[in-house]
Structure formats: structure tokens, C-alpha cells
Structure 1
């Protein structure tokens, strides 16, 4: 593994000039109802200060890059945020985002996760940018996310997992053979960290947490859970969850089909037009985030990270075409045995009944992500002492 290199975001003046020229040439589609697009684009052109936000990100997030060798693809330069807690014995935590996310997801919670307090655990945090996202290199040929088992091709995120496996070494603070870490992930981060928990659980991954719990209904293989599932009526909240899931699958999943079917076709538009990129991602930010009150500048910074990404703006969604089968086939293979924690958010795109939790390890917590993780690993919590600590909270 290569040495890590400090990283600062520094978008060239030339790229900024091209970006602004494209915004000036924007042509709007006829709108049948009002939207936020014209207001956001106008702000992007005449009020939004990228240099200000670039400086803030560089000041708030300790960023680095490191070359990681990936079989068949050479060395990929991977970007990540790495912040240590002041507590030497804090818990090493590997954070994995999904789409349309990025390393920015860690920005608001990083101070909370690394905070020192006698009342809750503290974490050493590494948040990587997935290959092709943000400021990480991406593969230069197809097949990156496909794994191989003998002569047969399988969709198992193995090369992505390899990058995350090496990332465990980055935050292990243990230079011997047995790395000790926990993972957290949502969306594609859920798929990747779940696979990691199954493959490396016990030896390197001691526990995992997700804010995107997906599961299958109980089956006869677990007789008591299955019987309880059949006899217990769904609550009002669970019925609402089914309705939301149905709405997503019927009316909100078109992006998924397009990104897995014709990723390159879509990529041309998203790479050429910042307005197209904004429209493609903005609706997801609004509808998938539990009424979070986005400011215009937060939205524009989020989209700008995609626009100024190291590879190209449309590269991030290629994962959908290469690992499609993994996204929905997660409850049937590679079942992790290490402890799992889950946060449930009512406006997640897929909301399953509580009875389905029987197909997942039995740990859950409050809806706020950081508080959930703190309680999971707190003294007296269900995963306390899973990762040994030298010192810290009591």
C-alpha cells in the first residue's frame, strides 16, 4: 500500500470558467408546474461562491489520497477523509456512502463521531470516496465491480470490497495482522459494508451499522419468526411504509433502470450539462431526506462535487450497471454473523415492516444516526466491547 498524501480541493480557474459558460448557455425545458430549477441555476451563476465553499471544505475535512492496487485495473488513487478522535482508544469506523451521495455525507456528523465525552463512545473515522465518485480515480474499462470465481463471473463488489479492505488497514491503528474496525453504510454503502461484514466479519470487521436496512420477509426456515409474521397484523406505520415503497418502485425508480441499463447514454448528458446534473440529483435530495431543510448553497455544493469530480460527472452511476444484482439480492447470500445496528428513517426509499427484521441480526436503535451508533457501542449497549478500547468513556 502506498503512502498517503494530503489532499486539498483546488478546482482550476479554467474549469470554473467553462462551468460558468455552460450555465450561461442553459436552455430550460417548458415547465408544466413550478420548480426550483431556475432559482438554483440563477444562484449558481450569480450568487454562489465556489471558492468560499471549497475553502470551507478544505478547512473542515482532513482529506488525503492513497494509491490502492486493484486486480486487473492497476493502482487507483483513492480520496478519503480521515479524522482521529482525541481518545487514543476510540473505535475505528469506516464510513461508506452511496449514490447520489459522496464524502460530503460525513461533513455534518464528523465532529459528533469524533467528539470526546464520558457519556458516549468516540470514533476514529475514515470516509472514502467510492471509485468514480468525488475525487477518487475511477476504472478506465468496464468490469470493475464484477468479481470472478474460477471461470464464472459473479456480481459481488469484490474489487470495491478490496479497496475498503485496504481502508480498514488505514484506520486500524494496529500494525499487526488483525485489523479491528466497524463499518457504516447506506444505499450502495449498505451493500458494500454488508458484504464486508460477511466476508471479513470477526477477523477484521467486528460489527456494522446501516441507515438503509433491507431484508426479505421471514420464511419457514425460521419457524417462530415466520408464524409471528403470518399472525401479526401490520401497524399503520408499516402500512404507510409499504405504500411509500410501492410509490418508489412504481414512480420513483426510473433512474435506477436507466443507470443500470444505459449508463453511458445518460453520462453524456450529465457530463455536458450542469443543469441536467442538477435536475437529475436534486429531486432525490429533496424526496429522500426526511424533510431536511436544504439551503440553496448546500444543494449547489453537493452538485458541484459531482460536476468537478476527478473522473467525470456521469461516472458515479456506472456501479448500477455492474453490480445491479447485488442491490436487491442482499438477503439471500453471504449472511453476516457479526453484530449489526440499524437506523430507520420513515422517508427512506424502501421501508419494510419490523417483522422482516427477523432476517437481519437483532440490533436496532433510535432514528438519529450518530445517537444510534453511540448507543450501539456505549457501555451497556448491545455491541459494547466488540472492539477493544484502551481508554475513553465509561
Structure 2
């Protein structure tokens, strides 16, 4: 069957590991200058050297691969309108409790399905009196161990179509979503395109426009009358920093993804530096271990479509149909919304902005945490989902509805 669900184990060929080490062995580095360790200029030379040497001589991919393979993974073929069929990789961790909420977790760049691993036991076990979840965490097409499209124009609507069809193939006719980074836009578009299937969304990365008098008169007046809180002002400072000092990668990948793609595909050191910068800058003093960093980067290095493929989502989002993508930023009255704000995310907007997206039934501003919140603060992150969908939570009616079905 074309849409059969097939068990999957990560098994990178020895030849790919040997080729990686061979390239690392002949890597060259910039000459050291007085500011080589200054993060304002980019990734410190000493960090990249240390990580590259460890990647070559000490890092044990096979050990990390074995740990990843402890998580239930699968592939299935998804047909995409106007494009070739794609083999899609995904984690599917079912709760021991049959009456659980189907949750679609969508990553972004430079993330992967790895982001969900720490929250899996927290969500699937469930408290005795709290909600539990069946978690589906795909590798987006062009990422991880999913195939990539060979045709131009594979944009946000196609990502949304793939993820929605995946949930249907798994037997989840109705479900809820969780999204950060590109997962925010993708899951928002799922809610806009398939509102009878996607019943609620939780977001930890909130992109929204300021309320206007024409579209959101009440929120507009609130924005005029209520001053921003200290946290909201700090969030705008953080957002301004990102737009001025941290947005260069976005311009490059949005305009010439193939050009940077040569570096990402051919040079593991370039890939390491390109991704490690974000792991550092976008998190809240998270204590990354070298093994964590290199596992994260290795998923890109050994990805099915190659490291260059992941950059294309930026180009396609900018150059494809804006009409459909625009729906991700508009008010959707049919999908309940939960918003979790983490202060060291890359865009941290005032709460009134987020309320322009839909009926907000859960909202919280956290004291710490950054862009990869599920990885950085798994207990807090999972706690938000449990509160939103638990007894007394704004989406508890959806929990009861879905648990009766599943």
C-alpha cells in the first residue's frame, strides 16, 4: 500500500560517517584575531574548533543513533497536490491511555523532531487526573529523515497539507497542534485550511500584527489605553535586537538558498557554525553539551534530502502565494488558541498582538526560556499543554471530545 505506516530506525551508512570525518580532518579555519571569541562577530573560533575536532575524533554518532532509535519512529508516503509523493519520517509516541488527545508537534529551522523528545514522557504518561497525549512529531519535508521535494514552489501550504494528511493516515480525523518557528506558520495554516480537523493550537512562537481599529477595535483600544508591561517592553527590545543583529541568515535563505546550500552541503564546519550560532543566540543560557550540539547538527548532516534542502522553506515562503500564507496571521475564530511567551525567544510581542490571531483560551508569560522551549524547559512547556487541555483549562471541552473518539 502506498500509504502504509512502516517502522523506521535511523541507520546512517558507515560511508557517510567516514566521509564526514575525512572532511573534518582537512578543514581549515580562519586566522585568529583579537575578537575571534567575540559573539558579536559570530560563532567563536575556539568553540567551532573544539566542536569540529570532537565531531571527528570523539563524538559517537552510533551511541546517539541508538538513543534516538529508542523512540518509536515510522515513515509513510504522503501524496501532495501538484508535487511528487514524499516519504515522510515521524515520531509517533502513543499514550498508554487510549483516551488521549492526538497532538501534532511541528518543528522549524534549525530544529527537528529532536525538539519533542524531552516532552514525550511528560505528555504521553499523563497525570492520573490530567490529560495525556498521543504525540506525532514529523520531520518536515526537506528536513531530517523525510524526503525533500525536487520541484520549485513547495511552500507553506504544501507543508500544511503533508502534516494534515499524515494525521489522517494515522487515523486522527480530529486533533490539536503545537508549533514554534516554522511550525507556528504551518500549524496556523492547518487551522485555517482544515478547521473541522484541527480543533485547537498551542504556540510558543507568536508572530502577529498590531491590532488595528478596522479589524480589532476592542484590542486596538486596549493597546492604546493599557501601557505595555515591563516584560512586554523587554520583549520588544529582544525583538528589535533580532531584527537588527540576528536576521542575516533569514535574508540569505529567503533570497539565495542554493548559494548558502553549497556551504552547508559540502562543509560540515560551515553547517556546524551556521546552526550552532542559533543554538547559542536563540536560547536562554541553556547549558548545551557538545554531544547535544553535535547530535542536533548531525541530524542535518545526515538528513535524507541533504543539509541544503532545509534552507528552501524560507525562499518558498517569501516567493510563493502570499494569499494562503497570510491566513496564518489572521484571526481564526474556529480554532482555540493557547499562547506561551518565552522571554528569550527571537520575537517576543505584546500579548495584545497575539490576541489578534484567534480565541485565546490559554496565555502565559514565562520568566525564562527561549526559542527551543520544548528542549530548554520541557517541564514548563509540557505543563502549559496540560493546563490548556486539562480540567479547568480553556480547551478542556476539546479534550473530552477527542478522548471520547480516541
TM-score normalised to the size of structure 2?
0.88
Q: Is residue 2:270 matched to residue 1:272?
A: no
SS in 2 for 1:341: strand
2-side partners of 1:258 and 1:245: how far apart? 19
The residue correspondences of 1:50-65 to structure 2 (distance < 5 A) are: 50-59=61-70, 61-65=71-75
Q: Is residue 2:197 matched to residue 1:204?
A: yes
Q: Deviations over 1:54-87 (max 9, x none)?
A: 111111x111000111123221100000111001
Of stretches 343-352 and 162-171 in structure 1, the one that deviates more from structure 2 is 162-171
> Which position in structure 2 is the counterpart of 1:11?
12
CA 1:196–1:64 in structure 2 vs 1: closer, same or farther (change >3 Å)? same
> Which position in structure 2 is the counterpart of 1:169?
168
The residue correspondences of 1:110-189 to structure 2 (distance < 5 A) are: 110-145=120-155, 157-173=156-172, 179-189=173-183
**Is contact 1:216-1:331 (8 Å) kept?**
no
**Is contact 1:91-1:123 (8 Å) kept?**
yes
1-side partners of 2:404 and 2:158: how far apart? 35
**Is contact 1:197-1:336 (8 Å) kept?**
no
Choose the corresponding residue for 2:113, options 100, 103, 115: 103
1-side partners of 2:163 and 2:65: how far apart? 26
Q: Deviations over 1:246-275 (max 9, x none)?
A: 111111000000001000000001000000
Task: Report deviation, 1:235.
Answer: 2.2
Q: Deviations over 1:10-54 (max 9, x none)?
A: 111111111000000110113433221111112111111011101
SS in 2 for 1:323: helix
2-side partners of 1:261 and 1:98: how far apart? 18
SS in 2 for 1:349: coil
Of stretches 291-300 and 216-225 in structure 1, the one that deviates more from structure 2 is 216-225
Q: Is residue 2:48 matched to residue 1:37?
A: yes
2-side partners of 1:129 and 1:316: how far apart? 11
1-side partners of 2:84 and 2:327: how far apart? 28
> Which position in structure 1 is the counterpart of 2:94?
84
> Which position in structure 1 is the counterpart of 2:209?
216
Of stretches 17-26 and 163-172 in structure 1, the one that deviates more from structure 2 is 163-172
**Is contact 1:331-1:359 (8 Å) kept?**
no
Q: RMSD of the TM alignment (CA)? A: 1.9
2-side partners of 1:355 and 1:27: how far apart? 49
2-side partners of 1:168 and 1:353: how far apart? 33
**Is contact 1:181-1:206 (8 Å) kept?**
yes
2-side partners of 1:79 and 1:92: how far apart? 17
Q: Is residue 2:389 matched to residue 1:377?
A: yes
Task: Report deviation, 1:244.
Answer: 1.0
Q: Which structure carries more helix by proportion?
A: 2
Where in structure 1 are there 5+ consecutive unaligned residues? 146-156, 174-178
**Is contact 2:185-2:328 (8 Å) kept?**
no
Q: Is residue 2:42 matched to residue 1:46?
A: no
Task: Report deviation, 1:390.
Answer: 4.6
2-side partners of 1:29 and 1:259: how far apart? 23
**Is contact 1:96-1:189 (8 Å) kept?**
yes
Task: Report deviation, 1:225.
Answer: 2.0
The residue correspondences of 1:282-321 to structure 2 (distance < 5 A) are: 282-321=276-315
Q: Is residue 2:332 matched to residue 1:335?
A: yes
Task: Report deviation, 1:365.
Answer: 3.8
> Which position in structure 2 is the counterpart of 1:363?
361
**Is contact 1:341-1:364 (8 Å) kept?**
yes
TM-score normalised to the size of structure 1?
0.91
Of stretches 223-232 and 3-12 in structure 1, the one that deviates more from structure 2 is 223-232
Task: Report deviation, 1:241.
Answer: 1.2
2-side partners of 1:68 and 1:106: how far apart? 22
CA 1:332–1:208 in structure 2 vs 1: closer, same or farther (change >3 Å)? closer
CA 1:50–1:332 in structure 2 vs 1: closer, same or farther (change >3 Å)? closer
1-side partners of 2:327 and 2:249: how far apart? 20
Task: Report deviation, 1:172.
Answer: 3.6
SS in 2 for 1:43: helix
The residue correspondences of 1:218-233 to structure 2 (distance < 5 A) are: 218-221=211-214, 222-233=216-227
Of stretches 288-297 and 80-89 in structure 1, the one that deviates more from structure 2 is 288-297
Name the count of aligned residue pairs. 374
SS in 1 for 2:102: strand
**Is contact 1:88-1:391 (8 Å) kept?**
no
**Is contact 2:84-2:149 (8 Å) kept?**
no
Task: Report deviation, 1:328.
Answer: 8.8
The residue correspondences of 1:224-243 to structure 2 (distance < 5 A) are: 224-243=218-237
